[in-house]
Structure 1
Amino acid sequence: MDEKRKEIIIRELQYWKQSKLLPSHYCDYLLSLYTEGEYDHKDQGAGKAVWKQVRWFVAIMLFVFSILVIYFTNFSSYMQIGFASFSVAIIWLIAFKSKVYNIIMVQFTYFLAAILLFVVTVETMYLLPYTSKLWVGAVIFSHCLIWLAYGWRQKLFYFLIAGGAGFILLVFIMIT
């Protein structure tokens, strides 16, 4: 077969594999066939595998830094809330973009975003001029209700536990 034609076919198969137009094992087989066994399919996704691991580390570090910024720094409250809100958006984006890779880590990342959003919402409530215990309780109630609904709809046990525990804590907070 003509070398130029082989090169075109190989590039097209690599594009199909990258775009997931064909299953990767079919593309690997065809690439091995057209390169006469010289194609090494294990080297092709090394950069993506590293990024998959890095994105989880970034999400966890953003969560930790946001909690540290909110509770342990003397930055202005608006700066703390802004940084934490930005972190929620980035963590949610990481989870949304990673749906096909690892469902457990994606759900864990959504859970981190939900907890951080809860913290940001409660901290923002305390910035408002006329915040009462009743309004903070209403915000906590709405978060717990959303967590219960999401956990029930997606069959996620930890969101159900978080929503239920939040309701129990809310009752204790409102009683005292």
Structure 2
Amino acid sequence: MRGEPVILEKREIILREIQYWRRSKLLPEQYCDFLTNLYNDDKEIKDSNPVSLKNLGQGSVKVWLFGFGIISLIFLISLYFSVFPWPLQLATALCVLVVCYGYAALYRDRNLVISLMLAGVGSVLTLGFGLWMISLHKLDPDLWRPALIAFCGLLWCVLGFTLRIGLLQYCGYAFWALLYAGFFGDKRPDASMLELELLWLPLCVLMIWLSWLLHHRVAGVSGVFLGVGVSLWLMPEIDALWLRQDYPDWVPLLLIGKVAVGLALLFIFRKKWITWVAS
């Protein structure tokens, strides 16, 4: 009888592992069902997702009270954030972000959907809290908005790499590209198309080269770098259309032509870059 709790604990570990295989598509669905039925004596799979309908239906009063407390806290912060002193505002924002990103890391291997949702909420709140505090305290937007963009870009790049969330990492590089475009837009507002091509295309080549260089060395970054490089391929024309005023009339045609060339190159070299991304 002493070994029975150990056996039950091992069975629970095996069942959780099977659920992870099911969510991650590591095994076909029918194999997961077979293994679950083999190890599960209760004929009922415990769902590790705390917000699933099954767990909410079977949840205790404590679960619902906890949810009520979280929702009330969100409304409380939303209503009274503006009257907090700025140290408390900063501490509140940091606590919320730590909770979001911390639980995103915690659920990364247990429930990918919840992890992505929490990371997305944390990212939106990072930008939202920053813009809100700049507006509340009437800070110089020409200084603090670029600083916020730089901070968000760096934070998302680091967290995207750490949590293995490619989209978050891509958004970080996109914010740095936005900062880069804004800086040179102020310095050279009348830049020619040749200057814009020389401004962006070397970065495009650099990111694609890094995608090739790191696909065997660092997991999870090759696809991000390739996506950033492909986006930078179109940035000269996007820069001219969105950030410049007196752009030539043929720029939209050039953009369409570069889209066609880019798709053709992706098709021709599809076996190579798919290998990079999949590695």
Same-fold call, TM cutoff 0.5: yes
The alignment's C-alpha RMSD in Å is 4.8
Q: Is 1:99 aligned to 2:108, yes or no? A: yes
Q: Is 1:164 aligned to 2:174, yes or no? A: yes
Aligned residue number for residue 13 of structure 1? 7
In structure 1, how many angstroms separate the alpha carbons of the residues matched to 2:76 and 2:166? 25
| Contact 2:101–2:122 (CA under 8 A) maintained in structure 1 | yes
| Contact 2:149–2:176 (CA under 8 A) maintained in structure 1 | yes
Q: Is 1:80 aligned to 2:89, yes or no? A: yes
Matches within 5 A, 1:18-167: 18-20=12-14, 29=38, 39-42=41-44, 45=46, 48-49=48-49, 51-53=50-52, 65=75, 68-69=78-79, 73-121=82-130, 133-147=142-156, 154=164, 156-157=166-167, 159-161=169-171, 163-164=173-174, 167=177
| Contact 1:17–1:27 (CA under 8 A) maintained in structure 2 | no
Aligned to 1:109, what secondary structure does the other structure show?
A: helix
Aligned length: 156
Aligned to 2:83, what secondary structure does the other structure show?
A: coil
Query: What is the CA distance between 1:112 and its match in structure 2?
Result: 1.7
Kindly, what percent of the aligned residue pairs are identical?
14
Q: 1:9 to 1:150 in 2, by over 3 A?
A: closer
Query: What is the CA distance between 1:14 and its match in structure 2?
Result: 1.3
Aligned residue number for residue 35 of structure 1? none
> 2:167 is aligned with what amino acid?
F
Aligned to 2:113, what secondary structure does the other structure show?
A: helix
User: Higher relative contact order by CA 8 Å / sep ≥ 6: 1 or 2?
Assistant: 1
Aligned to 2:100, what secondary structure does the other structure show?
A: helix
Q: 1:83 to 1:111 in 2, by over 3 A?
A: same
| Contact 1:62–1:91 (CA under 8 A) maintained in structure 2 | no
Q: 1:85 to 1:151 in 2, by over 3 A?
A: closer
For structure 2, which runs of at least 5 residues remain unmatched after alignment?
Answer: 19-33, 57-62, 187-279
Query: What is the CA distance between 1:111 and its match in structure 2?
Result: 2.3
| Contact 2:101–2:118 (CA under 8 A) maintained in structure 1 | yes
In structure 2, how many angstroms separate the alpha carbons of the residues matched to 1:166 and 1:65? 32
In structure 1, how many angstroms separate the alpha carbons of the residues matched to 2:126 and 2:80? 12
In structure 2, how many angstroms separate the alpha carbons of the residues matched to 1:167 and 1:149? 16
TM-score of the superposed pair, with normalisation by structure 2: 0.39
Q: 1:79 to 1:88 in 2, by over 3 A?
A: same
In structure 2, how many angstroms separate the alpha carbons of the residues matched to 1:115 and 1:63? 18
Query: What is the CA distance between 1:103 and its match in structure 2?
Result: 1.5
TM-score of the superposed pair, with normalisation by structure 1: 0.55
